[in-house]
Amino acid sequence: MAERGVAGYRARQIWSWVIDRRAERFETMTDLPRALREELDLTFEIFTTETITRSVDDDGTTKLLLSCRDGETIETVLMAEGSRRTVCVSTQVGCGMGCVFCASGLKGVVRNLTRGEILEQIVRQRNALREGERVSHVVVMGMGESLANLDELLAALEVVCAPAPLGLGLSQRRVTISTVGLPDKMRKLAELDRRYHLAVSLHAATESLRDRLVPISHKVGLGAVIDAADRYFEQTGRQVTFEYVLLGGVNDRGEDARALAELMSTRSAHVNLIPYNPVAGLEFERPSDAAVERFTAILKSRSVSVTVRKTKGRVIDAACGQLRRRTADAGSELFQGDPLGTARE
């Protein structure tokens, strides 16, 4: 605005139109002079991405596949549950952590997303809601390792949690950041005096099994991840959630449950069990219902706080990375059929 000799308050007007009033075109910003709106329309674009596909499941789960300006694609999912409207956002194109059962990282990480690309996922999902509906929660559990792009993520969340009309007005306590476990970044996050909820993708309670499932664990160690999670709880007072994807015949055995119960027994923590849904081309299988029930029972018998995540968005490839992967490889033999996924909430 300054470069164009326009009063600075116009920038705040434009920002509030986009963030608070769901504007997607400059022409709708009726309290700006017409000449300015026309100039803005010729010079700028509000969104940096384009929606390639919008898929809606019968359960209300909505997945967007977005194309960035450089041609890379990213995913965001909105999950509806009662009055809750939870948006799951991605922080990277692909992922470099290499978890062996995950679709997001099969081709590695391409780049970090900008703060604008992260924020835009939430704004786009919000704009598609009906009148009177609002985003109630944000989970940073989509494509990518959240803490590997911490600075851009935090900048986006500052807008998410700022009061209207210049922010989305979400409480920090309604934002969950998921990580595979980067201890240095976890400690940095703990020191920032924020109240975000932290979810650690654990997937195994022993060094040997976690090293197999989460290759980055070779470098950091299970103990260092647990210590950093303990530090986060001490610093923020926020209970840490440990996410555990149950893989049939791999980490869903009684001995695995007992090892996890032992690890959690002295901690104020919560375990979120996630029954795996197969990804085409990967060897892992969904656990049986009996295995899930047995695993849960063992944890509860040791007084561990535990829930089993509800499966949502199965027919729209809602698990992070699946729709992007299937779209990018359309026509290859590997992707005949429709891989089913579990939305990460």
Residue 267's CATH number: 3.20.20.70
Residue 339, pLDDT > 90, answer: no
In a domain, 340, yes or no: no
Q: Are residues 32 and 77 in the same domain?
A: no
Catalytic residues: 75, 320
Q: Supply the pLDDT for residue 107.
A: 83
- Are 185 and 147 within 8 A, CB to CB? yes
Task: Tell me: pLDDT of 295 over 90.
Answer: yes
Query: Same domain, yes or no, for 138 and 230?
Result: yes
Q: How far is CA 116 from CA 47, 49, 153, 223, in A?
A: 9, 10, 9, 35
Asked if residue 116 and residue 11 are part of one domain, the reply reads no
pLDDT at 30: 96
- The average pLDDT across 27-47 equals 95
308 falls within a domain: yes
Are residue 331 and residue 294 in the same domain, yes or no? Answer: yes
- Are both 160 and 213 inside the same structural domain? yes
Q: In which band, very low, low, confident or very high, does the pLDDT at 307 lie, cut at 50, 70 and 90?
A: very high
Name the pLDDT band for 314 (thresholds 50, 70, 90): low
Q: For residues 289 and 236, is the Cβ–Cβ distance under 8 A?
A: no
What's the pLDDT band for 44 if we cut at 50, 70, 90?
very high
What pLDDT, in 10s, does the model give residues 220-276?
999 999 999 999 999 999 999 999 999 999 999 999 999 999 999 999 999 999 999
* Residue 60 banded pLDDT, cuts 50, 70, 90: confident
Kind and range of the H or E element at 132? none
Domain that residue 210 falls in: 50-335
Say what the pTM is: 0.89
Within this chain, do residues 241 and 226 fall inside the same structural domain, yes or no?
yes
CATH number at residue 25: 1.10.150.530
Output 339 or 155, whichever has higher pLDDT: 155
Q: What is the mean pLDDT of residues 135-155?
A: 97
DSSP string, 323-337: HHHHHHTTTSGGG-S
Considering its fold, how many domains does the chain have in total? 2
Residue 309: inside a domain: yes
Which residue type sits at 56? V
Residues 38 and 79 in one domain: no
Q: Are residues 175 and 72 in the same domain?
A: yes
pLDDT at 89: 98
Same domain, residue pair 27 and 68: no
Instruction: Decide the pairing of beta strands 62-67 and 269-275.
Output: unpaired
102 belongs to a structural domain: yes
Does the residue 192 lie in any domain?
yes
pLDDT at residue 335 is higher than 60: no
323: in domain: yes
Contact 312, 79 (CB under 8 A): yes
CA distance 160 to 138: 9
pLDDT tens for each residue of 183-192 = 999 999 999 9
- Quick one: the chain helix, strand, coil %, rounded to 5? 40, 20, 45
Assess whether 36 and 158 both reside in one domain: no
Residue 198 carries which DSSP code?
E
pLDDT of residue 104: 79
- Position 315 scores a pLDDT of 55
The answer to whether residue 345 sits within a structural domain is no
Is 70 exceeded by the pLDDT of residue 313?
no
- What's the chain's average pLDDT? 90
Any idea what DSSP says for residue 4?
Answer: G
Does the pLDDT of residue 131 top 50, yes or no?
Answer: yes
User: How much is the average pLDDT of 199-224?
Assistant: 96
What percent of the chain is modeled with pLDDT above 90? 83
**pLDDT tens for each residue of 74-128:** 999 999 999 999 999 999 999 999 999 998 778 899 999 999 999 999 999 999 9
Q: Is the pLDDT of residue 340 over 60?
A: no
Is the Cβ–Cβ distance between 31 and 13 less than 8 Å?
yes
Same domain, 264 and 203: yes
Q: Do residues 322 and 185 both lie within one domain?
A: yes
344 belongs to a structural domain: no
